[in-house]
Amino acid sequence: MKNLLTTLLYSITIVSVSFAQTATLKVNLKNTSLNKFSVWIPKLSIGRDYLKKSFFEVPLDKDNTASYTFPITEPKFVNIYCRSSNLNTSSTLNYQLYLSPGDSITLKADFKKPNYGITVTGKGSNNNQPLLALIQEDDIQKFDGDTTPNRVIAFIKNREFVNKKNIKEYVKLYKPDVSFLNAYQLNSSYYFINSYFSFKENNKFQIGESYKRNFKKWQYVQDSIFKISKIDNSSALTTSNYTSFIRDFLLREKERLWQESAEHQEDFYKKWYNTDVKTGAVLYNQDNQNLLKEKIINNTFTGKTAEYLHACVIDEALYEANPNNIVLIFENFKSKYPESAYISWYEPAVNAIKINQEHQKLTETMVFANNNGLNFNSLNDVLALVKGKTVLLDMWGTWCGPCRQEMEKNDKYLKEHFKDKGLDYLYIANYDQKNEEKWKELIAYFHLDGTHILANEKLNKDIMDKVKGTGYPTYVVIKKDGSYELSKAGYPMNRAVLIQQLEKAIAQ
């Protein structure tokens, strides 16, 4: 009997623990044509989220209801997002939930009611009422173009004041859990730094010379908030404001170092590469993206935050089809964080890159123009090279993320579709004269069968001016008679549109 009782109690414990490792969300939407809603989990958000770990969709049934069970070992923020379009109107519901193990919440929303008439009931509902959870998008973009930070500072401070007032009212009305209050306040503590830093870094490109003149004013505010808010804070990784900020910081610090490498070469290469300008410049030019970001992380962040940002670097590289040093970075990552859950996330994709790199080689079907085409100065020179052929011209660059992405997604498919149909391929790399080694590596990596030219500045300008190209990649269809037209496929490439355009050109 004693053994039976012990077994029974043990079984009950196992069931309780198992239940406590999940949280259930039921959603019911009214007056909408939606057939699904989206879920975003900030803690899992790794930049571009190449593997779709943090963002996924949940289908609704015929009654516009759905139930989803989250595997959860600790409290976390979860965003529910859905955009409804009904005839002439559209509206977006963006709602933030704070889920804890054992929660069972029902969320109801009506798209015809003010603020969607949201009600939240069930276990954990005291942490998830609309007073705080209905996310209003900041209209901070209305200050774009401001040459000084005064107005945007006042706006952010006012929003902080409103948020503090709302949380006091919320506590009084709903008596939320202490863990929720702590998490909410931690997220709020990074609202100013995230909002200001993001606005400042985007706005500086719009105001140009005015930013340089007023740099000290913008920078003084940034320096002040950087002293107050910890940049390296692993306890804040569960919050959207913090993870958004540090991802942005990594991007902008990389851009700042690009500028420093040109303006203060000796100091830059001594600090970041521990060498002289000549040696450091070679290393820098080989990879001023992935390896440079790894250096920034190691210099600025520690522990879980560094682990998270290393995963962001890998994720971004996969998303942008940038294999440069990513195998090395991943091996360093595994050595430093052998228990990291991110290893199983990214290992298959990184292994595929490794295998491809081990087998990559230039072949006789990858043809280089004489002297790499550096003597070509105009589009007419190029047209003479391909005279009598139907050609797809790809204006790209080794440094161009969208170029690499489009190559990875479309190049193989297009070549299979047009095999033996009379289509030739011409790839012109731009702003890459210092990157010849990387240029050839990527040609082999992406298996770019066709003719290759390394453009000088005159050639680049002449082609882009004549075809009216506005960015990279730019695709041009060259016909047998020497006429040409810009691709109609847009970006991201609508492959079906380009195929139709190419088939018409071949037929002519």
Residue 487: φ, ψ to 5°: -55, 140
Question: What distance in Å separates the CA atoms of residue 210 and residue 8, rounded to the nearest whole number?
Answer: 73
Q: What is the pLDDT of residue 12?
A: 39
**H or E element, residue 188:** helix 178-189
Give residue 20's pLDDT: 58
Evaluate the omega torsion of the peptide bond into residue 348 and state whether it is cis, within 30 degrees of 0. Answer: no
Closest CA to 318 of 283, 284, 361, 352: 352
- Distance, in Å, from the CA atom of 240 to the CA atom of 85, rounded to the nearest integer, reads 27
Question: How is residue 55 written in tokens?
Answer: 């963002």
Q: Give CA–CA dist 457/105, Å, rounded.
A: 60
Q: What angle do CA 20, 22, 24 make, to 5 degrees?
A: 120
Yes or no: is domain 2-137 CATH 3.40.50? no
Predicted pLDDT of residue 104: 97
Is 33:84 a contact under the CB 8 Å cutoff?
yes
SS (H, E, C) 331-385: HHHHHHCCCCCHHHHHHHHHHHHHHHHHHCCCCCCEEECHHHHCCCCCHHHHHHH
Beta bridge partners of 22: 71
Token pair 């990875």 is at which residue? 408
CA–CA separation, 425 and 415 (whole Å): 9
pLDDT at residue 84 in the model? 73
Closest by Cα among 279, 494, 466, 264 to 383? 466
- At 84, the amino acid letter reads S
- DSSP three-state, residue 492: coil
Cross-strand pairs, 67:
26
The closest alpha carbon to 43, from 248, 184, 244, 193, belongs to 244
Is the model's pTM score more than 0.85? Answer: yes
Q: What are phi and psi of 165, to 5 degrees?
A: -65, -40
Q: What is the pLDDT along the chain (508 residues), one digit of tens a residue?
A: 445 444 444 443 434 444 458 999 999 999 988 899 999 888 788 888 888 888 889 999 999 999 999 998 889 999 998 887 654 556 789 999 999 999 999 999 999 999 999 999 999 999 999 998 887 767 899 999 999 999 999 999 999 999 999 999 999 999 999 999 999 999 999 999 999 999 999 999 999 999 999 999 999 999 999 999 999 999 999 899 999 999 999 999 999 999 999 999 999 999 999 999 999 999 998 899 999 999 999 999 999 999 999 999 999 999 999 999 999 999 999 999 999 999 999 999 999 999 999 999 999 999 999 999 999 999 999 999 999 999 999 999 999 999 999 999 999 999 999 999 999 999 999 999 988 999 999 999 999 999 999 999 999 999 999 999 999 999 999 999 999 999 999 999 999 999 999 999 999 8
CA distance 34 to 39: 14
Q: What's the distance, Cα to Cα, between the start and end of the chain in Å?
A: 90
- Tokens standing for 455? 């453009």
CB-CB contact of 488 with 498 (8 Å): yes
Multiple choice CATH, 366-507, 3.40.50.150, 3.30.450.20, 3.40.30.10, 3.10.180.10: 3.40.30.10
**Is the preceding omega at residue 473 within 30 degrees of 0, hence cis?**
yes
